[in-house]
Amino acid sequence: MSPARETIGIGMVGHAFMGAVHSHAWRSVHRFFDPPLVPRLAVLAGRDESRAGDAAARFGWEAVETDWRKLIARDDVDLVDVCTPGDSHAEIAIAALDAGKHVLCEKPLANSVAEAEAMAEAARRARERGVRAMVAFNYRRVPALAHARKLVESGALGEIRHVRSVYLQDWLSDPQAPMTWRLRKETAGSGALGDLGAHIVDAAQFVTGELVTGVSALTNTFVKERPAETGGTDDVTVDDTALFLARLSGGAVASFEATRFALGRKNAMRLEVNGSKASLAFDFESMNELQWYEGTGTEAGFRRILVTEPDHPYVGVWWPPGHLLGYEHTFTNEVADLLEAIGAGTDPTPSFDDGLRVQRVLAAVEESAAAEAKWTAVEEEK
């Protein structure tokens, strides 16, 4: 029997889609991994007490608060998990860090560069006191993408030349789909760009180890009004799609596309990297697979790697080879890494600084699109 481990009290703000998958991760992580800290689902916060109470009972949280400030102030909360829309990320995360609580914050880090800068600065201050912060780019924890990063790091692809990264969904294709907070700039910051584009920018930078340095972009809003909950229509104030070309810091060129209007594509987050020696390709709709190409001649072609072997990233704690993992496992892998970092007193990744870098790319895309695709440099770190 393993010795008893110290617990860490989790307080989660928000309980919808992201709240559900984060709850599953916190509840499951110590049953598969062996983290130095065992999470205790101490308290969940939501504005509506009845709905928050139902979510807490369903997901296994011990208590409910209707004010996130009260959640942060509780002695039984050691880590604050921010699963709210982007307009509240900065206020909640900064308050939690300043109160000495570790923070996990959903992506994108914020709705603006200024907010992201303030969050990154708060994380730097907190780091000096041993308090850790991480932004939740869960696709980094897909075993196939983590394996792709290892292949690039090993030099197996040679010089990186091309990167193609797309995120295609279709859930907004129907013009009668109702208005949501994701379609309002004041709550979401941007549309497909922030919601989906943030993921593919981070995935490309993570796998290649290179940063986006400049962009030429287009955005478009296909449906400018949608049915409102109270009747009538509301204006859509964010983009429906974003496309941009980019240069990377190592010399590669890249293309990115994010849309929620690609009929037939449900969650096609794809990344292809072409090097001087080999190429790799990934599609989240086949998330346990990595496509790999090397060699020459008439028999050369892409081959399928099933990323389910025990020595592949994260896979060893889960099922036997060939037994596939799913979307929810990426979040469990994510919180396992965060708990390991907190227990070891090291900085988890992706950090708030990493989230800030992505935010600067998104801002450059918006600036370029507003200037008819003018080439726009990504702001450098100050």
User: Do 111 and 201 reside in the same domain of the chain?
Assistant: no
User: Do 119 and 168 reside in the same domain of the chain?
Assistant: no
- Structure tokens of 206? 């993570």
Q: What are the C-alpha distances in Å from 83 to residues 69, 103, 109?
A: 15, 11, 11
Give the phi and the psi of residue 303 in degrees, each rounded to 5: -120, 155
Q: What is the CATH number of the domain that holds 166?
A: 3.30.360.10
**What length is written for the chain?**
382
User: Do 127 and 154 reside in the same domain of the chain?
Assistant: no
User: Of 110, 138, 166, which residue is a domain's last?
Assistant: 138
User: Do 326 and 217 reside in the same domain of the chain?
Assistant: yes
* Whole-number percent of the chain with pLDDT over 70: 99
Angle at 219 between CA 210 and CA 281, to 5 degrees: 40
Mean pLDDT of the 257-273 span: 98
Per-chain mean pLDDT for the chain: 96
**Which region holds residue 10: left if phi is over 0, alpha if psi is between -120 and 50, else beta?**
beta
3 pLDDT band (50/70/90 cuts)?
low
User: Do 206 and 322 reside in the same domain of the chain?
Assistant: yes
pLDDT score at 105? 98
User: Of 122, 138, 154, which residue is a domain's last?
Assistant: 138
What's the domain count of the chain? 2
| Cα atoms in the 13 Å half-sphere on the side-chain side of 276 | 6
Closest CA to 26 of 18, 256, 177, 324: 18
Q: Give domain status of residue 358, yes or no.
A: yes
User: Do 160 and 299 reside in the same domain of the chain?
Assistant: yes
Mean pLDDT of the 284-309 span: 93
pLDDT score at 1? 36
Closest CA to 106 of 125, 87, 127: 87
User: In which domain, by residue range, is 55 found?
Assistant: 7-138
Asked whether 360 and 249 are in contact (CB, 8 A), the reply is no
User: Of 98, 121, 138, which residue is a domain's last?
Assistant: 138
User: Do 110 and 164 reside in the same domain of the chain?
Assistant: no
Q: Give domain status of residue 1, yes or no.
A: no
User: Do 109 and 149 reside in the same domain of the chain?
Assistant: no
140-174 per-position pLDDT tens digit:
999 999 999 999 999 999 999 999 999 999 999 99
User: Do 351 and 219 reside in the same domain of the chain?
Assistant: yes
User: Do 119 and 158 reside in the same domain of the chain?
Assistant: no
Q: Give domain status of residue 35, yes or no.
A: yes
205-244 per-position pLDDT tens digit:
999 999 999 999 999 999 999 999 888 999 999 999 999 9
Q: What is the CATH number of the domain that holds 34?
A: 3.40.50.720
Q: pTM above 0.85?
A: yes
pLDDT score at 2? 53
Q: Give domain status of residue 381, yes or no.
A: no
User: Do 66 and 152 reside in the same domain of the chain?
Assistant: no
pLDDT score at 332? 98
Asked whether 40 and 80 are in contact (CB, 8 A), the reply is no
DSSP assignment of 260-313: S--TT-SSEEEEEEEESSEEEEEEGGGTTEEEEEE--STT---EEEE--STTST
Asked whether 193 and 239 are in contact (CB, 8 A), the reply is yes
Rounded CA separation 203/273 (Å): 11
Q: Is the pLDDT of residue 345 over 90?
A: yes
Q: Give domain status of residue 283, yes or no.
A: yes
Rounded CA separation 304/144 (Å): 11
pLDDT score at 298? 79
User: Do 364 and 235 reside in the same domain of the chain?
Assistant: yes
Give the phi and the psi of residue 360 in degrees, each rounded to 5: -65, -35
Closest CA to 60 of 35, 47, 42, 83: 42
Q: Give domain status of residue 175, yes or no.
A: yes
Q: Look at residue 38 and give its three-state secondary structure.
A: strand
Q: Give domain status of residue 76, yes or no.
A: yes
Q: Give domain status of residue 382, yes or no.
A: no
